[in-house]
Homo-oligomer: A and B are copies of this chain.
């Protein structure tokens, strides 16, 4: 399984990923820059998956009934430090009985759709593996993780019929949206850190597009190498840089500009973007 995110022409994993990468869905194309520029870093599939799992608390569990049939059910979850999902499930519930009888399970998590985005273009991840009941200090960690993630979690975990389960992750499939998808190996998933700027990224993207379109255009020309750029909007922001949708006489281009340093603090996006804008202006 490759741990390289984005760009690769992998088989599509979803009806809503455009097989040829972009044209059919009216998306910007990843055209080469007109001048030589540094290749900016991107989040790995493992990092993307960790970020998604860390910023959501509701997912869908696939478990097996006693007949071996698949059963999908909505669950809330917390996560351990290494991204291992923590479930808290009643043994009276069908999915609780399923897990107790057959440990194989899969959890699908979808990013919260911002605004009226196309649901096909929203990030999502599937984790698959086997559940295991934690004990000792891992049970304490599981209980704390679940309570931190789920508002009413503490109440439920007190009931005698509820069991904590850890989903030991054996497979990770990440889909970022149209044409962005990759697998991650379990070790990379466990080792990766969730993106610290993810919770504020959508706000930052809106702000950049509303108030700083000139700076985005300068970035597209000077840093992404699309010197014929006519306009640029920001599509995504992550700890390593910005994805831009750049209007050029050659068509719409998907471009990327990288921060000077990966951001490690939750509030680091503003300073990093200001530095990027200064660099683009040659200041």
Chain A interface residues (CB < 8 Å from chain B): 11-19, 24-25, 57-64, 68-76, 87-90, 92-96, 104-108, 110, 118-120, 122, 124, 126, 128, 150-152, 155-156, 159, 161-162, 173, 175
Contact = CB atoms under 8 A, between A and B. Distances in A.
A70 B70 contact: yes
Contacts of A24: 155
A14 B106 contact: no
Given A13-B94, A14-B74, A69-B104, 12 more contacts: A11-B92, A13-B95, A60-B110, A62-B71, A70-B106, A72-B107, A73-B108, A73-B124, A73-B126, A74-B110, A74-B122, A119-B150
Query: 9 closest pairs, A vs B, by CB?
Result: A60-B60, A62-B62, A72-B108, A62-B70, A62-B72, A11-B92, A72-B106, A74-B124, A13-B93
A16 B157 CA distance: 10
Nearest to A111: B74
26 contacts: A12-B161, A14-B73, A15-B87, A15-B162, A19-B159, A19-B161, A57-B119, A58-B110, A59-B60, A60-B60, A62-B63, A62-B106, A63-B70, A69-B104, A69-B106, A70-B104, A71-B106, A71-B126, A72-B128, A74-B110, A74-B122, A74-B175, A76-B119, A118-B152, A120-B151, A120-B152
Nearest to A69: B104
Count copies of this chain in the complex: 2
A70 B105 CA distance: 6
Contacts of A122: 74
A12 B90 contact: yes
Contacts of A104: 68-70
A16 to B, nearest CB: 6
Contact of A70 (B11, B64, B119, B159): B64
A151 B74 contact: no
Contacts of A126: 71-73
Nearest to A125: B74
B128 A69 contact: yes
A108 B74 contact: yes
B93 A12 contact: yes
Q: Give the most central of A18, A120, A126: most B CB within 10 Å.
A: A120
Contacts of A75: 14-15
A8 B162 CA distance: 20
Q: Give the most central of A14, A17, A76, A128: most B CB within 10 Å.
A: A14
Contact of A15 (B76, B106, B119, B151): B76
